[in-house]
Amino acid sequence: MPKKILILSVFVVASCGLAYELIAGALSSYLLGDSILQFSTIIGCYLFAMGVGAHFSKYVRDKDLLARFVDIELGVGLIGGVSAATLFLTFSWMAAPFRLLLYVLVFLIGALVGMEVPLVMRVLNSRQTEFNELVSRVLTFDYLGALAVSLLFPLVLAPYLGLVRTGFLFGMLNIGVALWTIHTFRHELSGVGTRLLRAAAVLCVLLAGFVLSDRMVYWGEHGLYGDEIVFSTTTPYQRLVITRWKDDLRLYINGNLQFSTRDEYRYHEALVHPALQALPWARSVLVLGGGDGLALREILRYPNIAHVTLVDLDPAMTRAFTQREELTRLNQHSLSDPRVQVINADAAIWLQHNNDLFDAVIIDFPDPSSFALGKLYSVPFYGMVNKHVAANGLIVVQSTSPFFAPHAFWTIDATLKEVGWHTYPYHLYVPSFGEWGFVLASPQQHYQPPQQYRLPMRYLTQQTTAEMFAFPPDMQPMPMAPNRLDTQSLVREFEQDWRGVIR
């Protein structure tokens, strides 16, 4: 029986170890962007630390194996359990030491986890377990634990519990292993009473953190955003936060501002109307991204538009902007309009499996801050879009800032040209963002910016439109290579441009 308990504990400790690694990777990618870099460096640091821990496990004396195993479980449970909350609150209130703290915690957790399995194997070996059976059983349960968490984390834990609460949960599982071991081997352990008190104290801390997770996240996000948080959720794809200050609602995705109600009309008028004003005959429009329904609101103002298909990856996004009263007032219930079909799917996959043709395509994705987003600005993606646009139709792409991120902006322009489009880049000033840019593209070289608009506008006029399509000397075109899927140069250009702005 004790042997089976030790082997089963390997399943739990392997699950916990991988969970802490995934939490650190997901949290850092949410807060810092560039998920590939964050996960790569965290995995590397974690595996290196495991190697260090495995090395130092040899210095544990045989008579102390069980005691040290219990102590390590208490340490992993405490450090790993509070790691997500500690990192999130640190980033929110004092961002400077975040990276250092991130890798210190990852290293400490990895080193302790690296000691767990060698100690269990030595305990089992001391109980005259055959070596072949020992290795087979321990590694089997180790890998099964990793598989279980790798499936549960993106499908259940992150979207329904959140990263902070998930950290506390797995910390309690580590403490459970410690208590289980103390109870099972109480006749072989020294200082049982002391270790039970430590385990109980750590368990109380973790349980309190689990119960107060929502409040801690609120404190952290209040420090990060400053304003009242009226809605927040973690989905399998992103962290959505909506804040309010007086009459100003703001949407943040993974900490990045997406719009402010004070000036979003400038952005969305510029995104939609230069194209649709030039297509008075248009009846069908495809919107990729734009799950907030604000671009859709502008499109539906045209009586000639009979059908709009909106493809947005995240159902939590479209659901919030369909159901929450303050948000439906903002988009004027556009997502519930009978002319609109909302599809929650990956845009690239949807384009591959759909044959519909549209008179206009509005592409309103978040900025290409990661490789997952960068693929949506690539040559293959725009090639797929090309197959869904009428011969005399137009597309418009949200293209980040030509002033703050000029290399990224002109890379998007070059990518559209590579597919065979004639491009018409333009820009405007949005107070919440600064100078912002778009690229309008046509399969034929005939587009002229509108001289007037059929609908009343809050920002667009003949003069402001002419100014949008004229670039001053400090935002002139740059010769850039197109963004190809295998290299994704756009993501690097975007990161380097904005890193220069932050400095």
Summarize pLDDT for 419-445 with one digit per residue, the tens. 999 999 999 999 998 999 999 999 887
The two three-digit tokens of residue 77, written as one number: 């449970």
Residue 500: predicted pLDDT: 64
- Mean residue pLDDT of the chain comes to 89
Amino acid at 294: L
Residue 33: predicted pLDDT: 65
Q: Does 197 have pLDDT greater than 60?
A: yes
Amino acid at 372: A
CA pseudo-torsion sign 70, 72, 73, 79? positive
First to last CA, the chain: 60
Walk across the sheet containing 434-442 and list its strands: 340-344, 307-312, 284-289, 358-364, 389-398, 434-442, 422-430
Q: How far apart are CA 285 and CA 279, in angstroms?
A: 11
| Alpha-helix runs per DSSP H in 226-263 | none
Q: How far apart are CA 100 and CA 108, in angstroms?
A: 12
pLDDT winner (highest mean) among 91-105, 129-143, 383-397: 383-397
Q: How far apart are CA 165 and CA 168, in angstroms?
A: 5
Q: How far apart are CA 322 and CA 400, in angstroms?
A: 26
CA angle 277, 279, 285 (to 5 degrees): 100
What is the topology classification, in CATH, of domain 2-212? Growth Hormone; Chain: A; (1.20.1250)
Instruction: Give strand pairing partners of 243.
Output: 229, 250
pLDDT band of 78, cuts 50, 70, 90: very high
Q: Does 231 have pLDDT greater than 90?
A: no
Residue 403: predicted pLDDT: 95
| Percentage above 90 pLDDT, the chain | 58
pLDDT band of 28, cuts 50, 70, 90: confident
- What is the longest distance spanned by two Cα atoms in the chain? 88
Output phi, psi for 423, to 5 deg.
-105, 150
What average pLDDT score do residues 181-206 get?
89
Q: Does 124 have pLDDT greater than 80?
A: no
pLDDT digits (tens, 9 = 90+) for 234-245: 787 788 889 888
Closest CA to 209 of 74, 81, 18: 81
What average pLDDT score do residues 166-175 get?
94
What is the topology classification, in CATH, of domain 264-502? Rossmann fold (3.40.50)
Among 22-31, 104-113, 420-429, 440-449, whose mean pLDDT is lowest?
Answer: 22-31
Among 8-12, 108-112, 327-331, whose mean pLDDT is lowest?
Answer: 8-12
Closest CA to 179 of 160, 161, 197, 206: 197
Q: What are the residue numbers of the active site?
A: 364
Domain boundaries of the chain, sorted by first residue: 2-212, 222-258, 264-502
The two three-digit tokens of residue 33, written as one number: 């962007």
Per-residue H/E/C for 368-408? CCCHHHHHHHCHHHHHHHHCCEEEEEEEEEECCCCCCCHHH
pLDDT winner (highest mean) among 29-33, 136-140, 320-324: 320-324
Residue 372: predicted pLDDT: 82
Residue 459: predicted pLDDT: 96
Q: Does 145 have pLDDT greater than 60?
A: yes
Amino acid at 447: Y
Count of residues making up the chain:
503
Q: Does 2 have pLDDT greater than 80?
A: no
Alpha carbon distances (Å) from 493 to 402, 412, 419, 443, 477: 12, 11, 20, 26, 15
Q: Does 205 have pLDDT greater than 60?
A: yes
Count helices and strands (H / E) in the chain: 18, 11
Q: Does 503 have pLDDT greater than 60?
A: no
